[in-house]
Amino acid sequence: MLQIKQLTITHKKDFRVILKDFSFVLNPGDKVVLIGEEGNGKSTLLKWIYDPELIEGYAEAQGERICTGEHPGYLPQELPAEEKEKTVYEYCCGEDAFGMQTPRELTHLAGQLKLPTDFFYRDQKMSTLSGGEKVKAQMARLLMAQPTVLLLDEPSNDIDIETLEWLEKLILEAVQPVLFISHDETLIERTANVVIHIEQLKRKTESHYSIAKTSYRQYAANRAAQLASQEQQALSERREEKKRQEKFRRIEQAVDHDLNSISRQNPHGGYLLKKKMKAVKSLEKRYEREALDKTEIPETEDAIFFKLGEKVKMPAGKTVLEYSLDRLLTPSSEEEEPRLLAEHVFLRIKGGERVCITGKNGAGKTTLLKQMKEELLSRTDIRACYMPQNYEDLLELDRTPVEFLSVTGDKEETTRIRTYLGSMKYTVDEMNHPMSELSGGQKAKVLLLKMSLSGADVLILDEPTRNFSPLSGPVIRKILRQYQGAILSISHDRKYIEEVCTAVYQLTPGGLVRMETEKQQCDRNGQD
């Protein structure tokens, strides 16, 4: 049994309380999802549960961790830098249990993860794998050790839809309890039976958490209903309070008027009015005490609020991209000869289309997107912006968000940028922190804001929703759905594909194949 008692975690740099008095017991059969907005401490909590030393560099923790007899297995959100330079084989050898696996067992594991049978023996560097292949390699090594508890930080990041379905099955059928973080709403809806929601309220000055032993869908519905009911009650009480205050003021003014008007020759009448005014003041104090007990307007950690490309008007008939490629090859490197990924690739995008490219991990989606990106960025008749899967490719991590977003650096621009960042739930401290200290979701917000400020009419997005919380996800999808320009993207996010994209293509060895979304299939079947 894994148990946490009275855990409080405080950030060392700004002394912000990330988590306060957190207690929880992970029971057999639990499939627990940790949710919360970006930067709220979900990954920090998971790291501490696995090994408190992992957070000592930036956070201080007080509390009790009981995991007697347990052997936790931990999947980090990012592959450690020293592991990236290892070959796949060297990385796998880092797990002692790897040497105890028979060829048959390794072949079976590779098949489960939709990997080539020789994958674990490759001399290819981990850094050159696709995002999904990295996650699969980490999952494989983790499972070899046969842990008694699974701690998974974003296991759904970058893996293809086929593997996502495998991951869902793994979590559901796991004999060991699972505690995981994921931004994939579909995965969460299908697997979680316990929800832990970590919030930072009052501009991230107050930590709050809630635990619900129910499905995510039910938790979200219950939470929405509870918040709506509380808000309605609070607003009703405030309306009644306003009416009462107006009535009180009228009485007070009348008594005051009478006091000022009464003749000095009527001392008894003055005495009575003074007594009446004393009663009015006493009533005022009672109202003030009652106001302290009124229902609070519910405070939630709302998602971001901004519009993307407000002034963008892309003509529907305009050809945004007409791309043709005979052979798609892997990037050349000293370690490996270029490999053929696909042939006869062709894609045409018109103004206002929101195109998504899907496909298996390692199919070459990011390679293809980068090549298309070069053509789009070189165009003078459109303004394109690119959001890579690896944010560090564009972000200057030693700079603050304000510095990165500034063009002129003048006071008016800086004020405007700070206002925008505030609407995206950045605190003043976070605006002034180097971006290296921000979470993945916070970095993604900076890049989205950069795109918005640039006035881009074409967005090139590699896994745009991968680091947004389930609470921010619907907002992000709405922003992208309402965008008036063209979008070229890669995604395995099933809700993003269904809600945002107007066209979906699968990258295969034979080129791009147009696919139907579930919604399009339903629409067609309804017409039939």
Which pLDDT does position 228 carry in this prediction? 79
β-strand pairing of 511-515 with 503-508: antiparallel
Nearest to 156 by CA among 388, 376, 469, 514: 469
Determine contact, residues 94/126, Cβ cutoff 8 Å: no
349 lies in some domain: yes
The whole-angstrom separation of Cα 99 and Cα 106 is 10
Q: Cβ-count burial of 73 within 10 angstroms (0-12 exposed, 13-18 middle, 19+ buried)?
A: buried
pLDDT of residue 95: 92
Residues 42 and 176 in one domain: yes
Query: Could you report how far apart the first and last alpha carbons of the chain are, in Å?
Result: 54
What are the pLDDT digits (tens) for 111-149?
888 889 899 999 999 988 887 888 889 999 999 999 999
Which residue did the predictor score with more confidence, 315 or 513? Answer: 513
Average the pLDDT over 275-291 and give the result: 75
Note whether 343 and 215 are same-domain residues.
Answer: no
Question: What would the pLDDT profile of 333-383 be if each residue is shown by its tens digit?
Answer: 766 788 899 999 999 999 989 999 999 988 999 999 999 999 999 999 999
Region for residue 351 given its phi and psi (left: phi exceeds 0; alpha: psi -120 to 50; beta: otherwise): beta
The verdict on 326 and 202 lying in the same domain is no
* Domain that includes residue 188, residue range: 2-223
Cα–Cα distance for residue pair 499/185, rounded to 1 Å: 13
428-459 pLDDT per residue, tens: 888 988 998 888 888 988 998 888 888 899 99
- Residue 21: both structure tokens together: 């008095």
What H or E segment, with its residue span, contains residue 156? Answer: none
Same domain, 201 and 325: no
What pLDDT does residue 234 have?
76
Domain stops at, among 200, 223, 246: 223
| H/E segment holding residue 75 | strand 72-75
**Residue 153 falls within a domain, yes or no?**
yes
CA 441/CA 401 separation, integer angstroms: 13
pLDDT by residue (tens digit) across 23-81? 999 999 999 999 988 778 899 999 999 999 999 999 999 999 998 889 999 999 888 88
Range in 206-215, 296-305, 508-517 the model is least confident about: 296-305
What count of other Cβ atoms lies within 10 Å of the Cβ of residue 51?
13
Q: For residues 292 and 285, give the distance between their C-alpha atoms in angstroms, rounded to a whole number.
A: 11
pLDDT tens-digit series, residues 316-339: 889 999 999 999 998 877 667 888
User: pLDDT tens, 237-273?
Assistant: 778 878 877 887 888 788 777 778 776 667 777 777 7
**414 CB burial (10 A radius; 0-12, 13-18, 19+):** middle
CA distance 452 to 454: 5
Q: How many domains does one find in the chain?
A: 2
Q: Would you say residue 306 lies in a domain?
A: no
Tell me whether residue 448 is in a domain. yes
Tell me the per-residue pLDDT of 470-518, one tens digit each, with 9 for 90 and over: 888 888 899 899 998 999 999 999 999 999 999 999 999 999 999 986 6
Q: Give pLDDT, residue 427.
A: 83
Of residues 295 and 213, which shows the higher confidence score? Answer: 213
Mean pLDDT of 459-463: 95
> Using 50, 70 and 90 to split pLDDT, how confident is the model at 293?
low
Hey, how many other C-beta atoms are within 10 angstroms of the C-beta on 90? Answer: 14
pLDDT at residue 280 is higher than 90: no
Look at residue 5 in the predicted model and tell me its pLDDT. 96
- The H or E element that residue 113 is part of is none
Do the domain assignments include residue 217? yes
Q: What mean pLDDT comes out for the span 221-250?
A: 80
| CATH number, domain with residue 166 | 3.40.50.300
What residue type is assigned to position 350 of the chain?
Answer: K
Q: Average the pLDDT over 287-297 and give the result.
A: 66
Q: Is the domain of 6 the same as that of 144? A: yes
Residue 83's contacts (CB-CB under 8 Å, 6 or more residues apart) are 91, 94, 126
pLDDT score, position 522: 60
Domain boundary among 189, 204, 223: 223
Gyration radius from the chain CA atoms: 29
Say which range, 149-158, 234-243, 380-389, has the weakest mean pLDDT. Answer: 234-243
- Residue 452, CA distances (Å) to 20, 312, 319, 469, 475 in order: 36, 10, 22, 20, 15
How far is Cα 101 from Cα 431, in angstroms, rounded to an integer? 49
Task: Looking at the structure, tell me whether residues 345 and 217 fall in a common domain.
Answer: no
As a whole number, the mean pLDDT across the chain is 87
pLDDT of 298 reads 59
pLDDT category of residue 384 using cuts at 50, 70 and 90: very high
Q: Same domain, yes or no, for 219 and 333?
A: no
380-409 burial, b if ≥16 CB within 10 A, otherwise e? eebbbbbbbbebeeebeeeebbbbbbbeee
The secondary structure of 150-195 as a DSSP string is EEEESTTTT--HHHHHHHHHHHHH-SS-EEEE---HHHHHHH-SEE
pLDDT in tens, 395-427: 989 999 999 999 888 899 999 899 888 878 788
One domain for residues 206 and 325: no
**In-domain check, residue 218:** yes
Of 409 and 3, more confident: 3
Measured CA to CA, the distance from residue 391 to residue 384 in angstroms comes to 17
Task: Answer whether residue 290 is part of any domain.
Answer: no
**Is residue 235 one of the residues assigned to a domain?**
no
Of the candidates 174, 205, 223, which is a domain's last residue?
A: 223
pLDDT at res. 305: 55
CA distance linking residue 114 with residue 98, whole number of Å? 18
- Residues 363, 509: one domain? yes
- What pLDDT does 521 receive? 62
